[in-house]
């Protein structure tokens, strides 16, 4: 998004975002956020449809391939609906888009996201992580993290034939490096599924 703004400062960008994700990102300046509250079920789609009424966009970047997001793509009034290549277009995303970014094997997720920007002509620019943080947020961070902290969330979505999870020993190597070189505290996040427990035990043996 920042890369698009750096290339086209006058572009009007609208971001359809989940209610939870909006609590972190919706304060970013110069972006219109439309909240999709999945807890509302079908009414959430009706809300987006109403927000799209009478509008027209040059391109829709369909950067999340899931059935819920694919259904949202159908509501977007844009002549170009850009999605992932055939292999990465999960949940039949290719049925909801009419153009696709090139296939790149074993590509990092961040690079895949930037593939959308490259496809529409945006030149590379320095990465900016300037998410606005209020004074209360900064104080909470200062209160909770008195020394360098590394947060690891090792497991992606739980689905069959999921090849996106990094091997546990690589997370362990990163954790050891952060501890030895930066004296960092390592925090694992995740749920209580068997695979997440196995990852946690492999990364931090004997953890509680």
How sure is the predictor about 103, in pLDDT bands with cuts at 50, 70 and 90? very high
Q: What is the Cα–Cα distance from 81 to 120, expressed in whole angstroms?
A: 11
Q: Which of 87, 37, 47 is nearest to 65 (CA)?
A: 87
Q: What is the pLDDT of residue 91?
A: 92
Q: What is the pLDDT of residue 208?
A: 45
Q: What is the pLDDT of residue 56?
A: 96
Task: Please give the average per-residue pLDDT across 72-81, as a whole number.
Answer: 95
Q: What is the pLDDT of residue 167?
A: 83
Q: What is the pLDDT of residue 203?
A: 77
Mean pLDDT (the chain) is 88
Q: What is the pLDDT of residue 154?
A: 82
pLDDT score of 18 more than 90: yes
Q: What is the Cα–Cα distance from 144 to 32, expressed in whole angstroms?
A: 32
What are 53-71's pLDDT values in tens digits?
999 999 999 999 899 999 9
Task: Please give the average per-residue pLDDT across 66-89, as a whole number.
Answer: 94
Ordered by where they begin, the domains of the chain are 2-119 (3.40.50.2000), 135-203 (no CATH)
pLDDT score of 145 more than 90: no
What are 156-202's pLDDT values in tens digits?
655 555 556 778 888 889 999 999 999 998 888 887 777 778 877 87
Note the Cα 101 to chain centre separation in Å. 17
**Choice between 119 and 194, residue whose per-residue pLDDT is larger:** 119
pLDDT score of 105 more than 80: yes
């Amino acid at each position: 998004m920042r890369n698009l703004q750096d290339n086209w400062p006058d572009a009007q960008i609208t971001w359809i975002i989940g209610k939870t994700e909006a609590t972190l990102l919706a304060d970013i300046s110069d972006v219109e956020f439309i909240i999709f509250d999945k807890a509302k079920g079908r009414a959430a789609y009706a809300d987006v449809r109403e927000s799209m009424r009478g509008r027209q966009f040059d391109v829709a970047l369909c950067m999340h391939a899931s059935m819920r997001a694919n259904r949202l793509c159908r509501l977007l009034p844009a002549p170009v609906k850009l999605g992932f290549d055939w292999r990465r277009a999960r949940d039949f995303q290719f049925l909801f888009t009419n153009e696709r970014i090139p296939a790149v094997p074993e590509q990092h997720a961040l690079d895949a996201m930037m593939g959308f920007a490259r496809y529409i002509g945006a030149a590379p620019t320095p990465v900016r992580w300037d998410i606005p943080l209020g004074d209360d947020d900064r104080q909470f961070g200062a209160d909770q993290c008195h020394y360098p902290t590394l947060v690891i969330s090792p497991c992606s979505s739980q689905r069959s034939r999921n090849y996106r999870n990094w091997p546990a020993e690589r997370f362990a190597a990163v954790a050891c490096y952060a501890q030895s070189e930066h004296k960092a505290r390592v925090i694992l996040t995740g749920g209580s599924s068997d695979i997440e427990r196995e990852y946690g035990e492999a990364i931090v043996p004997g953890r509680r």
